[in-house]
Amino acid sequence: MSEDDLKAELERLRNENAALKKGAASGISMKVSEKGAVSIYGMGRFPVTLYKEQWLKLLDMSADIRAFIDANDARLKTKG
């Protein structure tokens, strides 16, 4: 590796580290998995990983999910 390559890699790693620190402050972070899916970290012990079209379908249903949660609020538990 040339010196320029090493400097570029160091800068990339610094930026990645800064992004990880920023995500750690909010508790939730996102990453592209090795298989090209979107993984959300910080929701529980394991990441929630779905492919792009699955996330988009889920996001399109956000109003329905909120209505379902409201309708079943008495039966649902919260993590405490």
Q: pLDDT digit string (tens) for 36-49?
A: 999 999 988 999 99
For residue 80, being part of any structural domain is answered with no
For residue 43, being part of any structural domain is answered with yes
Q: Please state the domain count of the chain.
A: 1
Query: Quick check: 23 and 10 in contact, CB under 8 A?
Result: no
Range in 7-16, 46-55, 60-69 the model is least confident about: 7-16
Mean of pLDDT values over 70-79 = 94
Mean of pLDDT values over 44-65 = 96
For residue 32, being part of any structural domain is answered with yes
For residue 40, being part of any structural domain is answered with yes
Burial (CB < 10 A; 0-12, 13-18, 19+), residue 48, is middle
Q: pLDDT digit string (tens) for 1-36?
A: 899 999 999 999 998 888 777 756 668 899 999 999
d(CA 31, CA 24) in angstroms, rounded, equals: 13
Mean of pLDDT values over 46-56 = 97
Range of the structural domain that residue 23 is part of: 3-73
